Structures are given as C-alpha cells and as structure tokens.
Amino acid sequence: MIRNTMLWAMRRTALCVAFLSASPAFAADALPGDINPGIALRRQADIRLDKEMLTISRQRIVVEDVFTGTSKDRQFVPVVFTMPPMHLQEKDAQNAIRDLRFAVNGMAIKPTRKLTVMLGDKDIAWRIATMGWKESELIAFLRDGQAPAGKLPLPAVWFDKQGRARFQLRETYGWDQWFAPGRAVTIRHSYVPATTGEAGAKPSQLIRRIGDAACMDEARQSVVKSLDTGNGVDWTGLRYRIAGSRGWRPGAQDFTLRVDTGGDFLATCMTGGKPVDKRVQQFRAGNISMDQAIDLVFARPGRQSP
C-alpha cells in the first residue's frame, strides 16, 4: 500500500513538471474529432465583452460571458450557438455534443433550434423544403441512403462522384437578446462536449497517434507509460476553440480558463497553467492565443474488464 502511494505521488510530481514545462508552440498536428464551440453574437458593434470564465472537463464545458452595451440606445442582438456538422454515419454517442443548457442573468432560457444545410457558405435548407423534403427524411436519407417516396430527387451537383453529400447539416440554437446602455448581461451556456478517445490503449500506440497534438515530450511520454499497470491506458481527447477575443477589440478584459482534470494526467500544448488544487489548472489571457483551437488529452490507468 505504501509502495503504491509512493508510486502515485511520483506520477503526480512528474505530471506537474511535464505540464508546466511544455513547449509554448501549438502542435502542427491536431487531435481527431470535432471542435467544441461557444456562442457568437451576430452583431458586435457597441457591445463590450468584459469577462469570460471558461471551465473545461472531459464531462462538461461551462462558459460564462459578461457583456455590456456601450451604445446610447438599447440594442436587440441575435445570439447563436452553432453545433459541429452532423456525422450521420457514426453511431458512437459519446462523440456528440448533448445536454445543452443556456441562461441569461441566471434565468434558464430555451433558444430556438434550426437545422441549417450548408453547401459551401450557402444555406440550402429552404431549397430542400421547397422540394417537399422533411427534415427527418433528409437525415434518414443521409444515414441509410433511402430516399423518401414521391419526393423530387436532390440535385446531382450536391453530391460527389462517390455519392457523398457535398453539403453539411448543422443545428443552431439562437435567441434575440436585449443589451441596455451601460448594463451588464451575463450569458452562461454549458454542455457535454464532443470527445474522442480509447480504452485500454497501449502507451506506445497512444503516443504515436496523438503525441504531437498534445506536445508529448519525453517527460510526458514517461508519465503516460507509467499509467499502464497491466490494463493499458484510457484516454479522452477534447478540442475547443478559444474565442474570447474573436471580433472583439481589445478582447475579453478578464479571461480565465480552468481545466478540471478529474485526477487524470493532462497533456496539452498550452503553457503557463497554475494549479488551483490537485485537480484544476488555471490559465489567464496572457497564457493563451485567442481564436485558436486547443487540444486537451486526459489520460488515466486502464480499467480492468469485468
């Protein structure tokens, strides 16, 4: 028991050293999987982003933004959350964003859902609707290839030579928000993130597959190898786009990112993280390049099969 405790203490020490000594550059290679998004305002003139608090764990992403209207007049601005493209051929539910929740000034709201069908930069959903196709029929067609009976066929130019759709389906959730002059509006949203990962992976295979995306130097590789106690390594990959300054000048005046590792080993190309406690690392705006996708890898000892 004492030996196991000492080994775990040594691993946690190596974890902290590896985390804080990472290269400051972002990896050229990226993790597989979708990039988890945040909200966007359709118009950003005369609105200031005062503060953003972003908390990421492999179980949930929570974002709280504080905006202030700087115009002399009250503004009515659309707010939208755009989901990643639908992957209708994939059946692994863990990869999909789910359990979306939104609140404004502490009050839960129910935004309007809309399905967009993007062909390049154009939404062709209206054209599909005029051809008599229902949303459910389009999704079923793309999933199993069965066209609905009695409906006009979709144009051939919308598909490649292999019959794959050139367009993407995305869900958006939005609402219109009032911004009064000089008054703060707090918008909070959270969800179970899209992830990728593997259970019982061999450390060498894990390192080859995602080592570059997570800046796994020799120190981090050593920690990952030490996690294998006979059942391999379970890992979860998560991507998120830091957008605290996208379209904002000069950006969020107060930006904080907290990563809750849940006790896992965390590998990432970000640097400058400060430990809040044994589970949480905190980053401030000066440590993060805004409007970039960050890659986070959470690794832990593989669980023994029942």
Alpha-carbon span 105 to 233, nearest angstrom: 41
Q: How far apart are the first and last CA of the chain?
A: 23
Structure tokens at 269: 């190309």
3-state secondary structure of 71: coil
pLDDT of residue 90: 59
Name the nearest CA neighbour of 51 among 294, 240, 251, 242.
Answer: 251
Structure tokens at 175: 């609402």
pLDDT digits (tens, 9 = 90+) for 160-198: 998 889 999 999 999 999 999 999 999 999 999 999 999
- Asked if the model's pLDDT at residue 1 lies above 50, the reply is no
Task: Judge if pTM exceeds 0.85.
Answer: no
Q: Could you tell me the domains of the chain?
A: 2-124+167-301 (2.60.40.3680)
3-state secondary structure of 10: helix
pLDDT digits (tens, 9 = 90+) for 32-59: 889 999 998 877 668 888 888 999 999 9
